[in-house]
Structure 1
Amino acid sequence: MKRSRRVRANGEKVDKTRVYDLEEALKLLKGLKLAKFDETVEVAARLGVDPKKSDQMVRGAVSLPHGLGKDVRVIVFAEGDAADQAKEAGAMEVGGEEMAKRITDGWTDFDIVIAHPAMMKVVGRLGRTLGPQGKMPSPKSGTVTPQVGKAVSEFKAGKVEFRVDSAGNLHVPVGKASFATEKLAENARAFLDYVVSVRPAAVKGTYIRHVSISTTMGPGLKVVYG
């Protein structure tokens, strides 16, 4: 496939063999010719884990100090007072059986699903639909909680979920290219520091093998962490 002039020009400005300092990599990415939209900046980390083993699964949620720079669409499974709290906190939609049916029928226009524990009898049936999308609520990620209002506020403010994939990789957005370099760096470090804090006891040897950072349409740059 023929690459665009912008992609070729950007590729000439980076050294694929080099490992950059985080701030240096961010400044370089921000200095490239970006797309017409505000590109997302993403951190990718390769972990020394075997996700097939339950005691080496890495997942969770972390609040980024400077948010994501976008409107996070949160839906909540709750009833009664909990439903009212979710609505007041800014949930896009709150419901139960009817909302579950919409999801089963193919509705996916949301980013985060939060569930009150009492609603897991309804949400549990959505595993085959939400699981592959990485949206299935879980106590470990803070998306199954009786404090649904607080959870909505946190995720809308920039809390992000993560889960290691089958190859041992994590991919998490840490902001927009329009963010100041310092804010992007602080968000990236907040994520990586949290990943270190949830290292499974069963993991031996090097835990974080390598880290890279990229924009939506830009090249990936390897960076130093630690």
Structure 2
Amino acid sequence: MAKISKRLKAIRATVEANKLYAIDEAIALVKKAAIAKFDESVDVSFNLGVDPRKSDQVIRGSVVLPKGTGKTTRVAVFTQGANAEAAKVAGADIVGFEDLAEEIKKGNMDFDVVIASPDAMRIVGQLGTILGPRGLMPNPKVGTVTPNVAEAVKNAKAGQVQYRTDKAGIIHATIGRASFAEADLKENFDALLDALVKAKPAAAKGQYLKKIAVSSTMGLGVRVDTSSVNN
């Protein structure tokens, strides 16, 4: 452990705390510093020029990362009839209706994403106190309440990430793993950035992309020069 700490310390010494790096260089530095024994996630934070206290400036949505997240996502779907069969064919891990709600009430929640068809929301709505705090409550804004559950399942399995501004107007999201090629991480970063730029509220004034930083689970955080990204 001391050897790893010494190596990480040496890598950190090469990164200037107050320097803004081009996005390509930032990704390369974060990858280099991700030396944990597991495949660290590579995360990005966007400090946006919005006022999250105002409902019309809360940014929430989802985007499918072209190179995926590097994570296996288990998907549960609330639906019935033909939609249930379509969800299974699309790769859903769990499909149900009232029966699925009962399992969740018992504490059986072996899934990462919950999708629901509109007709199922009368059942899902009763699970708000269970799913809500875990960030699992389906929402049409992120595409998890939809009549086309099969497409939603495919997106979730393909590497869809959800994003939402926190109380400080910051969005945190994962763009892959340290094992990803730099070009793949950059492609995922660009997809997320594009989604955020398109989601800019009309009421937002001034500079939109205020600060950007890239980091890994156990490594270091690197500040990004916003002028180096395509926005």
Q: TM-score, normalised by structure 2?
A: 0.91
Partner of 2:53: 52
Contact 1:59 1:164 in 2 (8 A): yes
Query: Residue 19 of structure 1: SS of its match in structure 2?
Result: coil
Please report how far the alpha carbon of residue 101 of structure 1 lies from its aligned counterpart in structure 2 after TM superposition. 3.0
* Structure 2 residue 20 is the aligned partner of structure 1 residue 15: no
Q: For each residue in 1:43-78, what CA deviation from the matched residue of structure 2 results, as whole angstroms up to 9, or x when unmatched?
A: 111112222221111000111111112211111101
Partner of 2:225: 224
Query: Residue 51 of structure 1: SS of its match in structure 2?
Result: coil
Map 1:127-138 to 2 at 5 A.
127-138=128-139
CA distance in 2, matches of 1:149, 1:158: 15
Partner of 2:120: 119
- Structure 1 spans left out of the alignment, 5+ residues: none
* Structure 2 residue 148 is the aligned partner of structure 1 residue 147: yes
CA distance in 1, matches of 2:34, 2:55: 43
Please report how far the alpha carbon of residue 165 of structure 1 lies from its aligned counterpart in structure 2 after TM superposition. 1.3
Partner of 1:183: 184
Partner of 1:214: 215
1:40 aligned partner, one-letter code: S
Query: Residue 193 of structure 2: SS of its match in structure 1?
Result: helix
Identity %: 49
- Structure 2 spans left out of the alignment, 5+ residues: none
Please report how far the alpha carbon of residue 141 of structure 1 lies from its aligned counterpart in structure 2 after TM superposition. 0.7
CA distance in 2, matches of 1:90, 1:84: 10
Partner of 1:31: 32
CA distance in 2, matches of 1:60, 1:177: 25
Query: Residue 130 of structure 1: SS of its match in structure 2?
Result: helix
After superposing the two structures, state which structure 1 stretch, 188-197 or 216-225, moved more.
216-225
Q: Which runs of 4+ in 1 moved over 6 A?
A: none
Aligned residues: 225
Q: For each residue in 1:157-191, what CA deviation from the matched residue of structure 2 results, as whole angstroms up to 9, or x when unmatched?
A: 11111111122111111111111101101100110
Partner of 1:86: 87
CA distance in 2, matches of 1:191, 1:68: 12
Q: TM-score, normalised by structure 1?
A: 0.93
Query: Residue 35 of structure 1: SS of its match in structure 2?
Result: coil
Distance 1:68 1:142, change over 3 A: same
Please report how far the alpha carbon of residue 109 of structure 1 lies from its aligned counterpart in structure 2 after TM superposition. 3.1
Distance 1:224 1:105, change over 3 A: farther
